[in-house]
Amino acid sequence: MTMLAQLDMSVRHVRSADEALKAMAETPVDCVLSDINLGSKHTGVWLYNQLVLRYPNLPVILMSGMPRETLISDFGLHPDWPLMTKPVSRLIYYTP
């Protein structure tokens, strides 16, 4: 979050996938960044699927520090989905 805020991006932190969906219903955002292992009943993959159904044009970025194979087998990550790996040491901000 700090890196995004340093790029003058407005960042809203939520504590769960359910809270993220509620927040989106109240105030839509331009992009969602979520860890995959959220440590709760819902994962970032579950959140991704919910957001794609409700907001098909919304960019959703998943991230994790776990190996891709573990994310596929244990969390249901689709093998072809892009994944931001942690730790993130540098962000490149691009505006078309």
> What residues are paired with 34 via a beta bridge?
62
Q: What is the pLDDT of residue 16?
A: 92
pLDDT at 5: 73
Produce one character per residue of 37-62: b if its CB has 16 or more CB atoms within 10 Å, e if not: ebeeeebbbbbbebbeeeeeeeebeb
pLDDT of residue 95: 59
Phi then psi dihedrals of residue 76, to 5 deg: 80, 20
**Helical H segments across the chain, by residue range:** 2-6, 17-26, 44-54, 68-75
What's the pLDDT score for residue 1? 61
> What CATH topology corresponds to 2-85?
Rossmann fold (3.40.50)
The domain segmentation of the chain, as residue ranges, is 2-85
Tokens 């995959």 belong to 36
Strands 84-85 and 32-35: unpaired
Q: What is the pLDDT along the chain (96 residues), one digit of tens a residue?
A: 677 777 777 888 899 999 999 999 998 888 999 999 998 889 999 999 999 999 999 999 999 999 999 999 999 999 998 899 988 776 665 555
For the whole model, what pTM was predicted? 0.84
